[in-house]
Amino acid sequence: MPDAIDPINAVSQTAGTGSPIIHALFGGTFDPIHYGHLLPVQALAQLVGLNKVILLPNHVPPHRPQPEATAQQRLEMVHLAIQDNPLFTVDTRELTRQTPSYTIETLKSFRQELGEQRPLAFIIGQDSLQTIHTWYKWEELLDNCHLLVCSRPGYKSQLSTPEMQQWLEKHQVDTPFPLSQKPCGHIYLAATPLLNISATDIRQRHHQGLSCDDLLPPSIQNYIDSQGLYKQ
């Protein structure tokens, strides 16, 4: 597998625009990675003007059951999914940490490398925004990054309590422009394509011997078959 490039120090301005680049991270269990991860984030990158997105496979996800594929298998699937796509790179700091993959810790470690001034964003799906108040030290997230939220079918943009809705409205921006003007603190709800795909559904379809052809890249399907994954 090729080593991940170092996007943090590679470029500091978006070519042509003069705006500071936004360093964007996208964390997930990726068990397996699928088009519901890749396509909305590609659309988001276009909307916001991201020229690099760093995928962060987690080792021990704190909010959910443990993955079926091993950390190494999930990482290999991520590498295969992005091998011909220069938008994406991978960072393994969460995978190599033996403690739960708390996003706040990851953000702080990126923040330390980037310094206080450079814009840093964390990408999530709408379902994750709905439960963000359950994340460890969630109130500190926006002190370290912006949140970029991809649409996901079946999840509203309205949050579940008046307090959370107030928090969202306080930080929400309607256009991507302010994201490059501040290091952190904004939430941008992006109108990305709606893809009704989840890794849970893909694992279940494999258990049932059903095809997943339109749900994930062929290279991932071949890897799943060759490793005998999700058979139970």
Where do contacts with ligand ATP occur on this chain (CB under 6 A)?
A: 28-31, 36-37, 40, 64, 124-125, 127-128, 150, 152, 195, 197-200
We find the least distance from the C-beta atom of residue 173 to ligand ATP, in angstroms, to be: 19
173/189 with CB nearer ligand ATP: 189
Nearer to ligand ATP, 12 or 134 (CB): 134
Closest distance of CB 50 from ligand ATP, Å: 15
Residue 118 or 152 having the CB closest to ligand ATP = 152
CB of 125 to ligand ATP, least distance (A): 2
Cβ-based nearer residue to ligand ATP, 179 or 195: 195
User: DSSP string spanning the chain?
Assistant: -PPPP-HHHH-SB-TTT-SBPPEEEEEE--TT--HHHHHHHHHHHHHHT-S-EEEEE-SS-TTSPPPSS-HHHHHHHHHHHHTT-TTEEE--HHHH-SS---HHHHHHHHHHHH-SSS-EEEEEEHHHHHTGGGSTTGGGHHHH-EEEEE--TT--SS-SSHHHHHHHHHHB-SSSGGGGTSSS--EEEE-PPP----HHHHHHHHHTT---TTTS-HHHHHHHHHHTTT--
- Residue whose C-beta lies closest to ligand ATP: 125
Least distance to ligand ATP, CB of residue 5, Å: 22
Of residues 36 and 119, the one with the C-beta less far from ligand ATP? 36
CB of 34 to ligand ATP, least distance (A): 6
